Structure 1
Amino acid sequence: MSSALLPVVEPIPFEPASQKYQTLRTSLLEKFAAAVPDALKLPRSIIHNPPVDVTAIPRECGILSAQEIDITENYDVTSLAQAIASKKFSAVAVATAFSKRAIIAHQLTCCLTEWFMREAVAQAEYLDDYLEKTGKPIGPLHGVPISVKLRISIAGHWSMAGTLDTLQKATKDSQLIAILRNAGAVFYCKTNQPQSLMHLESLSIWGRTLNPFNINLSSGGSTGGEAALIALRGSLFGLGTDIAGSVRAPAGYCGIFGFRPTSHVLPTKDFLLNVPGFAAELNIMGCVGPMSTTLRDMDLFMNVVMSANPSIQDPQLIPTPWTPRRLEKQPDGARLRIGFMMNDGVITPQPPVTRALTWVRSQLEKSGFFDIKDFVPFRAAEAMKNLNSAYWPDGGRTLKRHLAMTSEPMLPLTAWAIKDVENIDIGVAGVLEQRGKRDLFRYEFAEHWASQQVDIAICPVSVGPACMHDTTFYWNYTSFWNYVDCPGATIPTPIKACRKGTEYYGSEDQVPLSDECKHVRQLWAEGDFEGAPIAVQVISRRYHDDELFTALKTVNEVLERSTSSRR
């Protein structure tokens, strides 16, 4: 390793074979390291001999002051904005605290691709001056630091669409960033994502992002940098994108909240468009979504963005009012109807996931607030087969051309993503055929949902807890909902994975449902997932995003009370 690089924890060193690519990588990492003062660097002893769980290090390493620990650990976005508006904290103090904690988090998990503390502090100084002169905050996010996935454009900073040849500096803020900046948000870092943007892990030219709760596990992807950063409270709120689970999977892996809206609800105008897998959006739309430490912060974000009427600037958006309904206003006092899908008929999730679902169901049943029933899975194997062609209609040829531009080596999970369709170019007619299959599937799924007589569904986020590195092979539990374009969110539970050896539950589950299910069991037997948090996924009908948040609030209140009683 060059002495000019910032050392990070690397349980599996990333050493690309291509000398050209390695030279480009070293140049990027040296530029990153040049911005980091020595006072914010962790001792080499931690980097070379870290604990498996690194979540306590930011608090204990001695780099943060007592006030900075308080700012980063004892507030969410909502309460922090209130504290800044009341002048309990200055925006500068907050920007400094989160910038410092973010660079600590990066050294532990390789979660960042860019860190610009100096710019953030300058922005915060302007906000403090504004508050002092006017006596009021500039907007509801006044002084709140927000972290952003690499792909999403911020003026003057790197954006990349999954391959090195697409790396470029944005000349202006994307529409969403402009809305948040106008509301007072402060931007201070950008976060890691994987090659191709089509892994549920995050390994790129900047390195491999680790799970803070167990560094031998993945933080998820493609918004894995955000998830790891938020889990270490180097951020309270971040932005990601999701076309196959890229917000929900990392949020679930790292035990935080994440939301993937229905397509064309939130603005993606001015995001980097030259994406190697962009043809996927001919049939499966990617979405931007928030990730946070609390549910109310995601609701605050939605209110801020939707109140800006983003559809006026982005004609792709469907004007959608953000007016989450209160449950007590339901007709005839009807209780919320929740369907639990314990497996999708293709892969039985690993034991901690089943345990978390069982716990959530039991708590909701005990509350007496809900009508609980089973949710029958719907043709998941067919959906996954159709999705593979939809994601890569040219068989990965465009992706390969992008990789070749900089001699970028294809990473193992990129090869896995395209293996079933590699070099099978379905052409225009095939894309149209896929559109027909997709629409018919959605019509039939809508009928299926109606037959279940539920308002929301609760299901796994993934086939297991956070995966061992380079083994996140199966996207079923997130990408299915992208295929039918239903909004979904993750809710953390108090359940954590224990050491390997726990048996699968129930006699009916003893026989694997498929070859994929058998492989997932093998991965469970071979891995050690100690400490990995488990979340569940909550789904509502397409364009019922506001109803989803109504349900989320009520479900989360019950689970938070139950979690408190366990302590």
Structure 2
Amino acid sequence: MAIATPQWKPQVLQKRRTQHDLIPSSWHLSETALTTAPLSSIETIRTSNILTKDELAWTETTDIRHLVTLIATRQVTSEQLTTAFCKRAAVAQQLTKCLTEIIFDKALARAKQLDEHLARTGAVVGPLHGVPVSVKDRFDVEGVDTTVGGSSGGEGALVGSGGSILGIGTDIGGSIRVPSGLQGLYSISPTTGRVPWDCSFLHQHYLVPPVAGPMASSLATAEYFMERLLASAPWNVDPHATPIPWRTELATPPTDRKLRLGVVFDDGIVKPQPPVARAMRETVQALRAAGHEVIEWDTSLHVPATEMWNKAILGDGGSHCRKLCEIIDEPLIEGMVVGTEKDMLSLDEREKVRTTTI
């Protein structure tokens, strides 16, 4: 007897066809390149001959301020830079399936507008004038679908492949931090309210509100994002945003004293892989050799907080995830942490968790 095909699978295949068709044919990898691609997408991107020498150089820049300067001084147009990143993102997509919504046409149209504005007025528009960036598919973008679940893994793979110099991810249990760690990126999972995002506050099913933050190949780019975003005073638009500017003096290493740093090798819940643990030990040794004080942090204080987080994150009994899956009858991803009926919290229990101070 034939097994019926779940209704969500044809939709997935159609979505993949649509994604494929949105990539210009001149940016397609050959079948040979796809079937013999090495583990590193970067190697394939560099040898694909799809990007020019200049485009490779631009997309392998790690400090976004350099690209901002190139455009502002008219050494490179936004259209040229955006084309380069679109090409690289297209190749990365074919190798890693890191994208959900492909809007190269809109990006290039906006780039042309910005180039015309700069040529006409001599002035830039905003702190990232003409530099393309990417956002996790949890943010509402006009004219495209929004994915209601998932992690920032695609964002991490895209930035790690050089298809974007700056990605904006979201985090509730590691969705910014884990992909960034796996890709060797710099990221910030900020305190709730630091980066404005209405999903953190308007979706009442979140007892633990998620946050938005930058993912980048350099600390300078992550810091530039935070600095320029907060310089725009987002709390005047979003009343839930914390009205505290970026304090450069606190982010600048002191010159008149040594640093005092804490390190966690294993908190009893997440144990680093051996190569990561080795790198951490080598870093600690180097810091101490330079005269800095490094303290191994006591994680016993984390236990009640972790227990509270688990209780809160599972508090809806998994109903939200099940409802989302029921929309197209798609099963939960294996390994996804979702509550069960025994985890369900009553309104009184939810309020108690929400107001508990640890």
> What is the TM-score of this pair, normalised by structure 1?
0.59
Structure 2, gaps ≥5 residues long: none
- Contact in 2 for aligned 1:18/1:407 (Cα 8 Å): no
Matched, 1:418 2:347: no
Q: Which residue of 2 aligns with 1:400?
A: 322
**Residue type at the aligned position of 1:80:** L
Q: Which residue of 1 aligns with 2:245?
A: 321
Q: Which residue of 2 aligns with 1:243?
A: 172
State how far apart, in whole Å, the 1-side matches of 2:143 and 2:89 are.
20
Task: Tell me: CA distance 1:343–1:87, structure 2 relative to 1, closer, same or farther (3 Å).
Answer: same
Identity %: 31
State how far apart, in whole Å, the 2-side matches of 1:160 and 1:130 are.
33
Secondary structure of 2:188's counterpart equals strand
Q: Which residue of 1 aligns with 2:348?
A: 429
Matched, 1:262 2:208: no
Residue 18 of structure 1, CA deviation: 5.2
Residue 126 of structure 1, CA deviation: 0.8
- Contact in 2 for aligned 1:153/1:272 (Cα 8 Å): no
Larger proportion of strand: 1
Q: Which residue of 1 aligns with 2:127?
A: 140
* CA shift digits 1:263-298 (9 cap, x unpaired): 111100378966xxx62x32x221100011111111
Task: Tell me: CA distance 1:406–1:68, structure 2 relative to 1, closer, same or farther (3 Å).
Answer: same
Residue 54 of structure 1, CA deviation: 2.7
Q: Which has the higher contact order (CA 8 A, sep 6+)?
A: 1
**Of residues 367, 372, 379 in structure 1, which corresponds to 2:290?**
367
**Residue type at the aligned position of 2:209:** M
State how far apart, in whole Å, the 1-side matches of 2:238 and 2:48 are.
45
Residue 67 of structure 1, CA deviation: 1.8
Residue 28 of structure 1, CA deviation: 2.0
- Contact in 1 for aligned 2:62/2:217 (Cα 8 Å): no
- Contact in 2 for aligned 1:109/1:228 (Cα 8 Å): yes
**Of residues 258, 270, 277 in structure 2, which corresponds to 1:354?**
277
Matched, 1:156 2:76: no
State how far apart, in whole Å, the 1-side matches of 2:200 and 2:144 are.
13
Task: Tell me: CA distance 1:324–1:422, structure 2 relative to 1, closer, same or farther (3 Å).
Answer: farther
- Contact in 1 for aligned 2:170/2:212 (Cα 8 Å): yes
Task: Tell me: CA distance 1:347–1:146, structure 2 relative to 1, closer, same or farther (3 Å).
Answer: closer
**Residue type at the aligned position of 2:227:** N
For residues 418-457 of structure 1, the aligned pairs below 5 Å read 418=338, 421-437=340-356, 439=357, 441=358
For residues 25-174 of structure 1, the aligned pairs below 5 Å read 25-74=12-61, 76-162=63-149
State how far apart, in whole Å, the 2-side matches of 1:406 and 1:346 are.
34
State how far apart, in whole Å, the 2-side matches of 1:40 and 1:90 are.
20
Structure 1, gaps ≥5 residues long: 1-16, 163-193, 195-221, 442-567
Matched, 1:342 2:329: no
**Residue type at the aligned position of 1:290:** P
**Of residues 209, 227, 232 in structure 2, which corresponds to 1:303?**
227
Q: Which residue of 2 aligns with 1:6?
A: none
Task: Tell me: CA distance 1:329–1:51, structure 2 relative to 1, closer, same or farther (3 Å).
Answer: closer
State how far apart, in whole Å, the 2-side matches of 1:103 and 1:272 are.
34
State how far apart, in whole Å, the 2-side matches of 1:126 and 1:410 are.
42
Q: Which residue of 1 aligns with 2:309?
A: 387
- Contact in 2 for aligned 1:346/1:381 (Cα 8 Å): no
State how far apart, in whole Å, the 2-side matches of 1:22 and 1:285 are.
31
- Contact in 2 for aligned 1:394/1:423 (Cα 8 Å): no
Task: Tell me: CA distance 1:408–1:326, structure 2 relative to 1, closer, same or farther (3 Å).
Answer: closer
Task: Tell me: CA distance 1:47–1:404, structure 2 relative to 1, closer, same or farther (3 Å).
Answer: same
For residues 481-492 of structure 1, the aligned pairs below 5 Å read none
Residue 50 of structure 1, CA deviation: 2.5
Q: Which residue of 1 aligns with 2:213?
A: 289
Task: Tell me: CA distance 1:118–1:354, structure 2 relative to 1, closer, same or farther (3 Å).
Answer: same
State how far apart, in whole Å, the 2-side matches of 1:76 and 1:326 are.
20
Residue 72 of structure 1, CA deviation: 1.0
State how far apart, in whole Å, the 2-side matches of 1:48 and 1:358 are.
38
Secondary structure of 1:239's counterpart equals strand
Secondary structure of 1:338's counterpart equals strand
* CA shift digits 1:111-166 (9 cap, x unpaired): 0001121211111111111111112222221111101100012222221211xxxx
**Residue type at the aligned position of 1:391:** I
> What is the TM-score of this pair, normalised by structure 2?
0.92
Residue 33 of structure 1, CA deviation: 2.1
**Residue type at the aligned position of 2:338:** I
Residue 34 of structure 1, CA deviation: 2.2
State how far apart, in whole Å, the 2-side matches of 1:346 and 1:424 are.
20
Secondary structure of 2:38's counterpart equals coil
Name whichever of 23-32 and 148-157 sits farther off: 23-32
* CA shift digits 1:446-498 (9 cap, x unpaired): xxxxxxxxxxxxxxxxxxxxxxxxxxxxxxxxxxxxxxxxxxxxxxxxxxxxx
- Contact in 2 for aligned 1:260/1:289 (Cα 8 Å): yes
**Residue type at the aligned position of 1:359:** E
**Residue type at the aligned position of 2:296:** D
For residues 493-532 of structure 1, the aligned pairs below 5 Å read none
Q: Which residue of 2 aligns with 1:312?
A: 236
Secondary structure of 1:56's counterpart equals helix
- Contact in 2 for aligned 1:240/1:289 (Cα 8 Å): yes
Q: Which residue of 2 aligns with 1:489?
A: none
State how far apart, in whole Å, the 2-side matches of 1:327 and 1:41 are.
42
* CA shift digits 1:329-356 (9 cap, x unpaired): 97x9443211222221445433112101
Computed over aligned residues only, the root mean square deviation of the Cα atoms, in angstroms, reads: 2.4
State how far apart, in whole Å, the 1-side matches of 2:92 and 2:237 are.
36
* CA shift digits 1:401-435 (9 cap, x unpaired): 22112111122122xx126x445321112212323
Aligned residues: 356
